[in-house]
Chains A and B, each alone.
Chain A
């Protein structure tokens, strides 16, 4: 953050143009008051109290450093404050002050040096007078004493300046240490909290994956129910046809118990289809709703993650490389993008899967594990059938087509955080070699 003043737009004083010197002055004063108000409103009671007791010059410096923070929209407060604390401004100001004292000390050194030279010359002259027995050395001795006194005064003055110089230097060090202490504490506490936060968000992601798996398994079950209902409908239609072929009159047929039973079956089948459809919709709705809740809380994590990076960058005093690649998690849990339950249907159609390819889930798993073992031997990442069936809730005899198996297996691996390389590399080969029928 720069401490350069940003243009502040304030309403002009009535009757005074901002182009007149008085107008400019008023505008400046109003801007100062405005920033002062902003500073005060953002301070803790203790700091507010201190601010109230500060000198005019102190308030001016504080206003200058805070101006960028409060006048620039979108600046994060804590990051902005840390940037202020780490700004070169303080070092420059301290160095300016120190340089002033250093200059004064150098001036004193020059004067002390000049006195030393004079002293040497006088001492040499006294020696010469004495060697030639010429009187007058005593008065020169008094001069020497004067020089010593002047030199002592200058040295005292230099000591004072030196002390001030050192005090400035020490103060800068003190502030630097204090600033580092606050930054370290902030970063430390942040890290302490971000770790469990990431763990909890990871847990939420697992719930998301679990719901995906649940939805994929439900899709398989629903498909099976619809197949069964379809089969029953065909049988019902055949019975109705047989009934008409018995030679009974239409009137008799209409009054027969069989027709009532057929109607009852028809209603049950329709009801079944309705329940499957409603459950599908309900599951999609609940899945979206949970996804949305997770996405909402996950999106809030990003500013904290970003701030941690900012703190470290500011403290290091150099820019860090900002990776623009999207977060895996953000992509994964975005609400509204997760409802893909029905997408499998299209793929099924493209593949032209025959009824022969509808296998029992247990058979798929057994074939898949054997297939992997043929390729990877003891490095095969085989699926624990029991765990798979428990987590999907699918009965081991339930039949499904290959695309559904692939979809469910993929979601199971994701949910269980199992490696996916062998799956990605071999699932299509598995279909071609072990499942597809001519």
Chain B
């Protein structure tokens, strides 16, 4: 009788443990899935950020070029004006 009860209790414990094990594994799976989703989302954002940064850097480079060309034109103007003043 006592042996039966022990077997029953052991069975109950084993069943509970199996349930617990299953749940624990599921949570682990959920954690991995969530981590993966975050990783994918971050990878996606990172790529878009890189694209945006490349566009902005290109604009900076264009602005530098615009400055360079304007600077040369202003130099030309300054030098011509200086020379004109000297000649007058």
Q: Which residues of A does B touch, CB under 8 Å?
A: 42-44, 46-47, 50-51, 54-55, 57-62, 65-66, 77-78, 81-82, 84-85, 90, 93-94, 97, 164, 168, 171, 175, 178-179, 182, 185-186, 189-190, 193-194, 196-197, 200-201, 203-204, 207, 210-211, 214, 218, 221, 225, 228-229, 232, 235-236, 239, 242-243, 246-248, 256-258, 261-262, 264-265, 268-269, 271-272, 275-276, 279, 283, 286-287, 290, 293-294, 297, 300-301, 304, 307, 393
Contacts and interface: CB of A to CB of B under 8 A. Distances in A.
B55 A175 contact: no
A293 B20 contact: no
Interface string B35-56: 1011001100110111011011
B24 A275 contact: no
A65 B83 CA distance: 12
B85 A47 contact: no
A277 B73 CA distance: 59
Contacts of A66: 78
A275 B77 contact: no
Given A175-B77, A393-B37, A44 B72 contact: yes
Contacts of A275: 28, 31-32, 35
A239 B20 contact: yes
A189 B49 CA distance: 25
Contacts of A221: 34
Interface string B49-81: 110110111011011001100111111111111
Contact of A47 (B66, B76, B84): B76
Given A82-B74, A85-B78, A182-B70, A268 B25 contact: yes
A88 to B, nearest CB: 13
A214 B21 CA distance: 30
11 contacts: A61-B82, A179-B77, A204-B53, A225-B30, A232-B27, A246-B9, A261-B17, A269-B24, A286-B42, A294-B53, A301-B56
A222 to B, nearest CB: 8
Interface of B: 6, 9-10, 13-14, 16-18, 20-21, 23-25, 27-28, 30-32, 34-35, 37-38, 41-42, 45-46, 48-50, 52-53, 55-57, 59-60, 62-63, 66-67, 70-88
Query: What 10 A-B pairs have minimum CB-CB distances, sorted nearest first?
Result: A57-B86, A58-B83, A58-B86, A61-B82, A186-B70, A62-B82, A268-B24, A261-B17, A44-B72, A81-B74
A211 B45 contact: yes
A281 to B, nearest CB: 12
A211 B87 CA distance: 65
A61 B86 contact: yes
B14 A78 contact: no
B74 A271 contact: no
Given A61-B85, A239-B17, A258-B14, A290 B77 contact: no
Contact of A186 (B23, B31, B66): B66
Contacts of B13: 239, 242-243, 246, 258
Contacts of A279: 31, 34-35, 38
B79 A62 contact: yes
A276 B31 contact: yes
B38 A236 contact: no
A90 B6 CA distance: 108
A138 B68 CA distance: 74
A261 B53 CA distance: 52
Given A55-B83, A197-B59, A246-B6, A265 B38 contact: no
B45 A290 contact: yes
Contacts of A290: 42, 45-46, 49
Given A258-B14, A261-B21, A214 B52 contact: no
Nearest to B62: A193
Given A78-B70, A193-B59, A268 B28 contact: yes
Contacts of A232: 20, 23-24, 27
Contacts of A207: 45, 48-49, 52
Nearest to A289: B46
A200 B83 contact: no
Contact of A58 (B23, B52, B85): B85
A47 B76 CA distance: 6
